[in-house]
């Protein structure tokens, strides 16, 4: 009896003395082993035959997800939405969209995932709502007594340049999905314009201005009642889902909530405040930023932030060739993971080393294989399993937290000609249904082919889970193997050290060391079609190749060792331990 009471008394004492459970400096402990799987819910598994994925569908595939060796999920938005931006235009943050099921289905998903050791993170669209959200509809009426009156930003005048952006948008082929400019002409009595964040249907929530201009009364200070109420609402949304058992949020457009904040000091302060709240009330829940600048977002309070398609050029330099949709805006003609061997890694190494040095004791850099906003790994001339194995070897052995985008484990293609649905534009090619088995709907749905959310194409059944589970040489097998290693080999863990051993100006091969106090791995990747080699300081013990794709040889020397690599190859060596 006495024993059972002791922890309760201790907790009561700590609460009374104001001492909270101390989360580690790196946030929830489980992140040190986390490997994420990202699901775009409309495309993963349909359970009711309407051609659109849903929560019961995801639940039915949890055993598969667990079998991959991942241990956390991030789901793109599942809340009631207007579906003009793939769920990022939310009507009700507290309700699961009927197309996916109910709030009870979400609780069941959380329970079933937890039973399998999988954490569940949702998407927090913090910056905007749908224009059909009740908050916006009430705010638009100009009723000063509405609770939501100041939830949005309502200018009476905007600059000539912003008016021109509106004109260009309206003149474009698809005004509703044109992101130009910051304002929309308001058809409501409230004011002449409202501020938007992305598409016209996504009015920006009012977190205030870092430097409000008194001559523009709609620019409120972050401390004003409206912006403070919006902050409270954001916490309410988080608490609502945390209390249902979710394990964290990926925060959409996390850096842009406060307006006119050039050095981001006001937005950093906002997240520091959220972090303190999280640490006090939900220390086991993760905050993951869509910011793409870990050096800033992690000190601001996030546990994880990504390297990806925007902000720093390092990630684009690895994967985006000029002749692919994401690469058409990239400063690089060829990506590093192009077999022509004309890519570079210095930009990635510079960006990554800096962010890693600044954040490794405080949080994690997330490395996605792709996501719902940019092309999959299998895009352009990177279209063979051996190339994908090399890229996966890199992505799944770097420090930080890997995010496997659904379908990348079987090498699903980015579908260049996918139709634009629900505001996807060219992102549709990364949002096509998961390919489970051969057949016209790839096992995703029992619907007729023309009712599918987006078309599927399985390369005659080869690009399916079913086919790859039957083939030990498949990408799926290799990915499962790498994820098992990541879990079992300490030197490949999220927190283990990382040092580049090769010369960043001689990019092929790239060789790095991963290590803990008593475990060492050497990883080498050669995405190019040429045979290459690199010298590294002689290792103190023999090595064993624990993962390999293509031809590779390790040659020991007196002062330097040599890794000789055939075309398009990768290897993970582990030092034998005494
Ligand atoms: C980023 C999301 O990832 C993207 O899909 C969305 O369109 C924009 N934010 C706007 O919410």
**pLDDT score of 3 more than 80:** no
**pLDDT score of 20 more than 80:** no
**pLDDT score of 435 more than 70:** yes
Please return the burial class of 402, using the count of CB atoms within 10 Å of its CB with bins 0-12, 13-18 and 19+: buried
CA 5, distance to chain mean position in Å, is 42
Ligand 1 midpoint to CA 86 (Å): 8
Q: What is the 3-state secondary structure (H, E, C) of 380-430?
A: CCECCHHHHHHHHHHHCCCCCEEEEECCHHHCCECCCCCCCCCCCHHHHHH
Say yes or no: CB of residue 374 within 6 Å of ligand 1.
no
- The enclosing H or E element of 326 equals none
Q: Whose CA is nearest to atom 11 of ligand 1?
A: 88
Q: What is the pTM of this model?
A: 0.95
pLDDT band for 144, please (50, 70, 90 cuts): confident
Task: Please state the φ and ψ torsions of residue 340, each to the nearest 5 degrees.
Answer: -75, -5
Whether 97 and 108 have beta carbons less than 8 Å apart is answered as no
* pLDDT tens track for 86-113: 999 999 999 999 999 999 999 999 999 9
pLDDT band for 17, please (50, 70, 90 cuts): very low
Average pLDDT, the chain: 94
Q: Whose CA is nearest to atom 4 of ligand 1?
A: 373
Cβ neighbours, 10 Å, residue 333: 13
CA distance 404 to 41: 15
Say yes or no: CB of residue 248 within 6 Å of ligand 1.
no
Whether 248 and 121 have beta carbons less than 8 Å apart is answered as yes
Q: Which of 198, 250, 257, 326 to mutate to test the pocket of ligand 1 (most atoms within 8 A of CB)?
A: 198
pLDDT band for 10, please (50, 70, 90 cuts): very low
Say yes or no: CB of residue 321 within 6 Å of ligand 1.
no
Q: Give the pLDDT of residue 332.
A: 87
CA 384, distance to chain mean position in Å, is 24
Q: Give the pLDDT of residue 41.
A: 98
Please return the burial class of 135, using the count of CB atoms within 10 Å of its CB with bins 0-12, 13-18 and 19+: buried
**pLDDT score of 12 more than 80:** no
N-term to C-term CA, the chain: 47
Task: Return the bridge partners of 248, or none.
Answer: 121, 286
Q: CA separation (Å) from 210 to 219, 251, 270?
A: 9, 20, 11
**pLDDT score of 138 more than 70:** yes
> Pairing between strand 569-575 and 519-526?
antiparallel
Q: Once rounded to an integer, what is the mean pLDDT over residues 10-35?
A: 64
CA distance 284 to 31: 10
pLDDT band for 578, please (50, 70, 90 cuts): low
Q: How many CA atoms lie within 13 A of 32 on its CB side?
A: 13
CA distance 230 to 236: 10
Q: What is the DSSP letter of 473?
A: T
Q: Once rounded to an integer, what is the mean pLDDT over residues 210-239?
A: 98
Q: Give the pLDDT of residue 429.
A: 98
Sign of CA dihedral 398, 403, 409, 411: negative
Cα radius of gyration (the chain):
25
Say yes or no: CB of residue 422 within 6 Å of ligand 1.
no
Q: Whose CA is nearest to atom 2 of ligand 1?
A: 252
Ligand 1 midpoint to CA 84 (Å): 11
Say yes or no: CB of residue 308 within 6 Å of ligand 1.
no
**Omega into 459 within 30° of 0, i.e. cis?**
no
Cβ neighbours, 10 Å, residue 31: 24
pLDDT band for 22, please (50, 70, 90 cuts): very low
Q: Which of 253, 366, 368, 428 to mutate to test the pocket of ligand 1 (most atoms within 8 A of CB)?
A: 253
Q: Give the pLDDT of residue 540.
A: 85
Ligand 1 midpoint to CA 274 (Å): 21
CA distance 277 to 102: 28
- The enclosing H or E element of 497 equals strand 497-500
Q: Once rounded to an integer, what is the mean pLDDT over residues 386-390?
A: 98
Q: Give the pLDDT of residue 331.
A: 83
Whether 124 and 238 have beta carbons less than 8 Å apart is answered as yes
CA distance 96 to 104: 9
Q: Give the pLDDT of residue 24.
A: 64
**CB contact burial 405-433 (16+ within 10 A = b; e otherwise):** bbbbbbbbbbbeebeeebbbbbbbbbbbb
Q: Which of 254, 373, 427 to mutate to test the pocket of ligand 1 (most atoms within 8 A of CB)?
A: 373
pLDDT band for 535, please (50, 70, 90 cuts): very high
Say yes or no: CB of residue 85 within 6 Å of ligand 1.
yes
**pLDDT score of 5 more than 80:** no
* pLDDT tens track for 327-386: 987 788 999 999 999 999 999 999 999 999 999 999 999 999 999 999 999 999 999 999
Ligand 1 midpoint to CA 252 (Å): 7
């Amino acid at each position: 009896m006495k024993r059972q009471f002791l922890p309760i008394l201790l907790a009561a004492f700590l609460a009374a003395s104001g001492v909270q459970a101390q989360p580690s400096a790196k946030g929830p402990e489980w992140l040190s082993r986390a490997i994420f799987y990202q699901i775009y819910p409309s495309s993963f598994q349909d359970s009711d035959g309407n051609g659109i994925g849903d929560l019961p569908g995801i639940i039915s595939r949890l055993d598969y997800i667990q079998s991959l060796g991942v241990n956390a999920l991030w789901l793109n938005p599942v809340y009631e939405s207007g579906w003009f931006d793939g769920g990022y235009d939310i009507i009700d943050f507290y309700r699961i969209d009927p197309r996916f099921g109910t709030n009870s289905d979400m609780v069941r998903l959380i329970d079933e995932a937890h039973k399998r050791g999988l954490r569940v993170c949702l998407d927090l669209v913090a910056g905007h709502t749908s224009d059909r959200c009740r908050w916006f509809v009430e705010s638009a009426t100009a009723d000063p007594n509405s609770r939501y009156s100041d939830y949005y930003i309502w200018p009476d005048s905007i600059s000539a340049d912003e008016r021109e952006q509106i004109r260009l948008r309206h003149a474009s082929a698809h005004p509703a999905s044109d992101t130009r400019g910051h304002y929309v002409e308001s058809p409501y009595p409230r004011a002449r314009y409202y501020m938007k964040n992305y598409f016209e249907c996504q009015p920006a929530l009012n977190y205030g201005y870092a430097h409000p201009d008194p001559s523009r009364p709609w620019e409120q200070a972050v401390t004003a009642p409206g912006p403070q109420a919006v902050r409270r609402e954001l916490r309410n949304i988080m608490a609502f889902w945390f209390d249902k058992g979710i394990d964290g949020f990926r925060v959409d457009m996390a850096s842009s909530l406060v307006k006119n904040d050039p050095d981001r000091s006001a937005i950093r302060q906002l997240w520091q405040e959220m972090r303190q709240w999280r640490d006090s009330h939900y220390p086991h829940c993760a905050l993951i930023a869509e910011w793409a600048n870990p050096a800033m977002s992690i000190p601001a309070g996030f546990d994880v932030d990504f390297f990806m398609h925007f902000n720093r050029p390092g990630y684009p330099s690895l994967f985006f060739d000029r002749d692919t949709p994401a690469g058409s805006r990239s400063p690089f003609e060829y990506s590093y993971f192009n077999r022509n061997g004309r890519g570079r890694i210095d930009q990635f190494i510079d960006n990554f080393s800096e962010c890693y040095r600044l954040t490794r004791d405080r949080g994690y850099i997330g490395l996605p294989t792709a996501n719902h906003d940019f092309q999959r790994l299998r895009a352009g001339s990177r279209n063979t399993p051996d190339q994908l194995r090399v890229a996966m070897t890199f992505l799944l052995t770097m420090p930080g937290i890997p995010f496997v985008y659904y379908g990348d484990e079987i090498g699903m293609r980015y579908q260049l000609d996918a139709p634009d649905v629900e505001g996807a534009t060219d992102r549709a090619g990364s949002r096509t249904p998961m390919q489970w088995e051969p057949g016209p709907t790839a096992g995703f749905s029992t619907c007729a082919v023309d009712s599918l959310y987006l078309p599927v194409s399985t390369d005659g059944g080869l690009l399916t889970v079913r086919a790859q589970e039957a083939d030990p040489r498949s990408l799926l097998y290799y990915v499962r193997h790498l994820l098992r290693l990541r879990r079992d080999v300490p030197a490949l863990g999220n927190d283990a050290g990382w040092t580049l051993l090769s010369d960043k100006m001689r990019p092929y091969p790239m060789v790095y060391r991963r290590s803990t106090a008593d475990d060492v791995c050497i990883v080498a990747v050669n995405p190019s079609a040429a045979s290459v080699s690199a010298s590294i300081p002689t290792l103190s013990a023999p090595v064993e190749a624990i993962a390999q794709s293509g031809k590779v040889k390790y040659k020991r020397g007196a002062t330097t060792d040599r890794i000789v690599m055939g075309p398009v190859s990768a290897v993970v060596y582990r030092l034998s331990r005494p």
